[in-house]
């Protein structure tokens, strides 16, 4: 189905309330994958008891978290409150990771406010059992630049560890061809240059990722209604490098279910949560849709397209209030 968009679901409560009727999880509930691999919980990641209940005895080798830093950008919390909130889910994460494990956190920085909450977050995590490992920058253009400052095209990804986790970067290459020659080295008495010695004609992923396209409406992986989707390729890269096949991966901020889908595609087991039943439903549907069709998202259709089609009032609401035009085919 084409041209069946959905507005951002954080923008309007009327549409959100209707979609809630189509969600299988209520707060505190969980979905278990009939194939026995994954689970999705409608849970608050700061609530220790809810997390315990959801996770049970499972332990994870990898956590990939993408918290909503708009909580601070939109003044829903001040920076101290935000960091206190973060410290709770970091503590919950530490408890459910194995002794050799990795933690990745996507975090923004407000350039006009002394880069908050980035700096405060780094200081907070210093007081935990995590060791800092690296800081990755992913190129991600969001809109057009201002004429008065450098264009914002970066997203930061913090990488921490516990113990000695797996790190399989050797076979993880980008699609970027190697172009620089000239690193000569003597091997078995013969002078070789870097191209002769390398295993691939592509460069390996370092800590600056410029080869991953952001998600936008023309990409198959696009999930209409979601507004903070991370590219599948980025999460798959993290999973391949920092976990092994059959390992367990956890994500406390599921949203469009990117980590869930990435785990499915890379042979890992995922437990993921979202506080919002609508995003839990979208995550489950994204996995189901992939299993049924092999597609990564809905491109310019949406996860609730079937229900909307059968609900004339809903189509009317979307047409009138959101100026959405639907081409039904």
Across 219-255, b (16+ Cβ under 10 Å) vs e yields bebbbbbbebbbbbbbbbbbbbbbbeeebbbbbbbbb
Stretch that binds ligand SAM, among 124-132, 141-149, 185-193, 253-261 (CB under 6 A): 253-261
Nearest CB to ligand SAM, comparing residues 49 and 164:
49
Using rule CB under 6 A, residue 271 touches ligand SAM: no
Terminal-residue alpha carbon distance, the chain: 7
Using rule CB under 6 A, residue 45 touches ligand SAM: yes
Nearest CB to ligand SAM, comparing residues 37 and 45:
45
Tell which one of 33, 221, 236, 276 touches ligand SAM (CB under 6 A): 276
Tell which one of 19, 273, 284, 318 touches ligand SAM (CB under 6 A): 273
Using rule CB under 6 A, residue 272 touches ligand SAM: no
Using rule CB under 6 A, residue 46 touches ligand SAM: yes
Residue 156: how many CB atoms within 10 A of its CB?
16
What minimum distance in Å lies between the beta carbon of 65 and ligand SAM? 8
Nearest CB to ligand SAM, comparing residues 154 and 202:
154
Stretch that binds ligand SAM, among 27-35, 48-56, 118-126, 270-278 (CB under 6 A): 270-278
Nearest CB to ligand SAM, comparing residues 6 and 228:
228
Using rule CB under 6 A, residue 269 touches ligand SAM: no
Using rule CB under 6 A, residue 308 touches ligand SAM: no
What minimum distance in Å lies between the beta carbon of 279 and ligand SAM? 4
Which of positions 223-242 make contact with ligand SAM (CB under 6 A)? 226, 228-230
Tell which one of 221, 236, 247, 274 touches ligand SAM (CB under 6 A): 274
| CA dihedral for 65, 70, 76, 80, sign (positive or negative) | positive
Residue 137: how many CB atoms within 10 A of its CB?
15
What minimum distance in Å lies between the beta carbon of 228 and ligand SAM? 3
Spatial separation of the C-alpha atoms in residues 273 and 41, rounded to whole Å: 5
Stretch that binds ligand SAM, among 12-20, 43-51, 92-100, 118-126 (CB under 6 A): 43-51
Name the site residues for ligand SAM (rule: CB under 6 A).
Answer: 44-46, 66, 68, 226, 228-230, 252-253, 255-256, 258, 273-276, 279
């Amino acid at each position: 189905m084409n041209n069946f968009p959905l507005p951002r679901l954080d923008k309007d409560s009327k549409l959100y309330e209707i979609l809630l009727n189509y969600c299988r999880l209520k707060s505190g509930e969980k979905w278990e994958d009939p194939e026995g691999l994954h689970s999705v919980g409608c849970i608050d990641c700061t609530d220790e008891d809810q997390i315990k209940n959801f996770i049970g005895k499972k332990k994870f080798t990898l956590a990939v978290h993408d918290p909503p830093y708009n909580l601070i950008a939109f003044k829903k919390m001040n920076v101290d409150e935000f960091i206190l909130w973060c410290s709770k889910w970091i503590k919950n994460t530490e408890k459910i990771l194995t002794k050799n494990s990795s933690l990745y956190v996507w975090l923004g920085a407000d350039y006009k406010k002394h880069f908050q909450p980035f700096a405060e977050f780094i200081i907070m995590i210093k007081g935990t059992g995590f060791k800092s490992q690296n800081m990755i920058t992913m190129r991600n253009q969001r809109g057009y630049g201002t004429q008065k400052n450098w264009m914002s095209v970066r997203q930061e990804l913090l990488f921490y560890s516990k113990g000695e986790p797996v790190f399989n970067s050797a076979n993880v290459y980008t699609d970027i061809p190697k172009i620089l020659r000239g690193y000569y080295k003597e091997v078995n008495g013969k002078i070789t240059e870097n191209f002769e010695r390398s295993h691939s004609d592509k460069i390996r992923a370092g800590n600056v990722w410029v080869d991953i396209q952001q998600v936008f409406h023309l990409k198959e992986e696009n999930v209409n209604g979601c507004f903070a989707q991370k590219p599948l390729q980025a999460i798959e890269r993290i999973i391949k490098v920092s976990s092994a096949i059959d390992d367990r991966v956890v994500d406390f901020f599921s949203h469009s279910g990117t980590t869930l889908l990435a785990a499915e595609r890379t042979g890992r087991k995922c437990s993921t949560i979202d506080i919002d039943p609508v995003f839990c439903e979208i995550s489950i549907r994204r996995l189901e849709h992939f299993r049924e069709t092999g597609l990564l998202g809905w491109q310019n259709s949406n996860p609730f397209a079937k229900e909307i089609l059968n609900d004339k009032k809903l189509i009317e609401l979307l047409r009138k209030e959101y100026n959405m035009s639907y081409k039904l085919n």
